[in-house]
Structure 1
């Protein structure tokens, strides 16, 4: 008599339950290898995305640092970008070792640039505050009223010139 409850053991089925002729990839090593390749590909994609994000953030910090240098230079220069153009220095020369803007270096170079070219200085407003105000107010003629109309001797109606 055979026991129907015991599992049938087939020498063709491996420990993972995969039969060589079942259409699966075959050995478990091949499955593990493809999983490893998939993991490695995923890690490469993540690495490349992280590098792209890092580069974008570094560029953003560099723009902010340049803007800060131009803000400090713009306190004395009419065009703050002239500092980079005329001094021939780049952003790295105005940064400390920790990456902060060294305002003393910026101020020193701005002072040297203004000593050579004083026309680059930020000037006072380019208008004359005395212009357009009309000067002091002129005394106004007395306003005609009903009482002055009935007075005799001087005409109270304003005379217009033609």
Structure 2
């Protein structure tokens, strides 16, 4: 028989049942890591490694897909990267249901961009008769008028007699 307990006495197993200050999530009563806690910690570390590896692979895939889009769009555009940089198109817009780049969609988007901005087309030249505001010696001249070289107007011709009267020479 056991003796009845007084209120002053507590059984030994009830003593020190409060967890330590750090909690008992990763340690047993003796301060050691439990088997389950060790497995949980290793699983968290492995998940973090896999997420890092996944992000690196996604970045490599995006770089490869960007190069493919640049190559395909370069058949229509002077700079293939303009489709992504200027066209407002993302890689996701150009992927098919399997995640591969759809060459037909790239061609269609590049053609639409050329319709909006013809100067981006491969082999595009500036339109004829476009004023160059005097930046060139060949475009924008009148029939029979020659700029530059011998027989071209000079500063001395422009200032004429006013420059010669003062003894100045303009070249």
For Structure 1 versus Structure 2, the TM-score category normalised by the shorter chain is: 0.5 to 0.7
Indicate the residue corresponding to 1:149 in structure 2: none
- Deviation for aligned residue 1:32: 8.8
What count of residue pairs does the alignment treat as equivalent? 97
Tell me the TM-score normalised to structure 1 length.
0.53
- 2:118 is the alignment partner of 1:118: yes
In structure 2, the partner of 1:85 is 85
Does 2:70 match 1:58? no
Per-residue Cα deviation, 1:58-92 (whole angstroms, up to 9, x for no partner): 11111111111111001121111111233212110
Which whole-Å CA distance do the structure 2 matches of 1:116 and 1:35 have between them?
A: 65
Distance in 2 (CA, whole Å) between partners of 1:33 and 1:75 is 62
Moved over 3 A (4+): 28-33
Tell me what 1:133 maps to.
Answer: none
1:31 to partner: Cα distance:
9.1
Instruction: Extract unaligned runs of 5+ from structure 2.
Output: 1-27, 125-171
What is the distance in 2 between the residues matched to 1:116 and 1:52? 40
Higher Cα Rg: structure 1 or 2?
Answer: 1
Using CA pairs below 8 Å that are at least 6 residues apart, which structure has the higher relative contact order?
A: 1
Task: Please state how far the C-alpha of 1:30 moved relative to its aligned partner.
Answer: 6.3
Kept in 1, the 8 Å contact 2:69–2:81? The answer is no
What RMSD over aligned residues (CA atoms) do the two structures have, in Å?
2.4
- Displacement of 1:100: 0.7
